[in-house]
Amino acid sequence: MNPSVKTADLKGRAAGKAVPGLGKNLACAVLALGLLASGSAHAEDPCKAVLCMYGKLTGNSGGGACSSAEKSYFNILVKKHGKIKWSDTASQRGEYLNSCGGADHSYTKQINDKFGKVLG
């Protein structure tokens, strides 16, 4: 008999030993929970939105690569009783753009001054 070969006996496992397959299932559950918890109204990358919206501001277009980033910006709408509150919408859009740490706030202000109160 080869002493290096061990047989698995689930009843004889010591406390704290992993159950086969549990790690993978647990990892999947944690990942799914993280995705659900991190889902917000602004799931798109704010830095991508800054680049694309700056292109829009200067008359350029990022084409299809920017459509989701522009949509994430314009989807920020603050409503009360079904009516859009444009000042609050512009504030929220500005905060979203400014959440990109590498963005120059003078550019995000220019973007928001032009598009902050516009229905996309």
In tens, the pLDDT along 9-53 reads 445 445 555 445 544 444 434 433 343 333 344 457 999 999 999
Closest of 111, 119, 110, 96 to residue 45, by C-alpha: 96
> Model confidence at 1, in pLDDT bands (50, 70, 90)?
low
Half-sphere exposure (Cβ direction) of 80: Cα atoms closer than 13 Å: 5
Query: Does residue 116 surpass a pLDDT of 50?
Result: yes
**pLDDT given at position 15:** 52
Task: Tell whether 6 is covered by a domain.
Answer: no
Domain that holds residue 90: 46-115
Does residue 31 belong to any structural domain of this protein?
no
In a domain, 63, yes or no: yes
Q: How many structural domains is the chain composed of? A: 1
Question: Is residue 76 in some structural domain?
Answer: yes
Please report, for residues 14, 57, 86, 116, the alpha-carbon distance to residue 79 in angstroms, rounded to integers and kept in the order given: 57, 25, 8, 14
The answer as to whether 101 is a domain residue is yes
Whether residue 29 lies inside any domain: the answer is: no
**pLDDT of 40:** 41
Q: Is residue 77 part of a domain?
A: yes
Q: Which pLDDT does position 44 carry in this prediction?
A: 76
Give 61's pLDDT tier (boundaries 50, 70, 90).
confident
Global pTM?
0.63
- As a whole number, mean pLDDT of residues 61-79 equals 93
> Residue 5 — very low, low, confident or very high, per pLDDT cuts 50/70/90?
low
Q: Among all chains, which residue has been given the structure tokens 């694309």? A: 52
Is 10 domain-assigned? no
